[in-house]
Amino acid sequence: MKKDFIAISDFSSEELMSILELAIDLKKQWHDGGNPPLLKGKVLGMIFQKPSLRTRVSFDMAMRHLGGDALYLSPNEIGLGQRESIADVARVLSGYVQVLMARVFSHDHILELARWSSIPVINGLSDYNHPCQAMADALTIIERLGKMKDINVVFIGDGNNVAVSMMHICAKLGANFTHSGPDGYQIDASALALGRTIAAGTNTKIRQIFNPQEAVRDADVIYTDTWTSMGQEVESEKRAKVFPPYQVNTELLKLAKPSAIVLHCLPAHRGQEITDEVADGEQSALFQQAHNRLHAQKAILVNLFQQANS
């Protein structure tokens, strides 16, 4: 039966850990000489409304490492929901490829693709969430800190799609999550409510604190992201005035645990949300995190086909 990868909240804690354990195994295999061709004969169709370095290359290489192939579909080639209806695109591509990944502006587009597709659909990013990124983030935290359970993750800046998926995976896997951003830039209320419902079942805490210095005290992980996401460019000037107090710099990092690591999903706007000293410092896990997109997504892909065949 078809099962999609749309949101972290769709999966149980056990399912998420199973995928992460698979990612660890696949990464070790790859470093030890290569992955077996688990997806031989399979093709991933990649629909892009937004450009991306990491999403495109990591998914493409994930399929290659596993013996499959990937097909890039640019915005001009599809015009999702404009040149052709999403329902028609989903049904056509379902007869050409074995799995779809879409990186879109509107989350409704992902939901519509999944509704009409007869093959699994992966959310490569939407305005609501970024579940593939969260899986890479969790993989990185486990590698660096040895666990997710009982740690303190603090997200500094805009309560955006990355923050939503990070909050949900923390709640699922037993980590406490704190968001600290300017007034008016909090995490979506419905996503926050869902996160707190999940957290109640895993005995974890979700907090929103305006003061970043207070937020990072006792932090094991400090996470930041761009102040202005793609599609928000008209707000750049306004955001540039309110977000500087939320810069992740050496002074802020000193308030966290000495063992704390720093995450950023990239691309980083150095000198804005993060300084060079932190991004390139000993506590930075930015590039390990970026590389783990490849391995987390391999596990997502393999898991989807295992579920489809079970």
CA distance linking residue 234 with residue 170, whole number of Å:
31
SS3 call for 181: coil
Considering 265, 272, 295, 297, which one is annotated as catalytic? 265
Ramachandran angles phi, psi of 130, nearest 5°: -150, 70
Considering 132, 158, 225, 264, which one is annotated as catalytic? 225
Considering 65, 103, 109, 168, which one is annotated as catalytic? 103
CA distance linking residue 74 with residue 79, whole number of Å:
8
133 classed as catalytic: yes
Look up residue 78 and give its amino acid. Answer: I
Strand ranges across the sheet with 152-156: 206-208, 176-180, 152-156, 221-224, 261-264
225 classed as catalytic: yes
Residues in the chain: 310
Considering 65, 109, 239, 293, which one is annotated as catalytic? 293
183 classed as catalytic: no
> Which residues fall within 8 angstroms of residue 74, CB to CB, at 6 or more apart?
48
> Which residues fall within 8 angstroms of residue 188, CB to CB, at 6 or more apart?
128, 159, 164
What crossing angle do the helices spanning 131-145 and 161-173 adopt, rounded to 10°?
A: 50
270 classed as catalytic: no
Considering 130, 179, 239, 295, which one is annotated as catalytic? 130
Ramachandran angles phi, psi of 282, nearest 5°: -65, -25
- Containing 264, the helix (H) or strand (E) segment is strand 261-264
Considering 98, 127, 132, 133, which one is annotated as catalytic? 133
Catalytic residue annotation: 103, 130, 133, 225, 265, 293
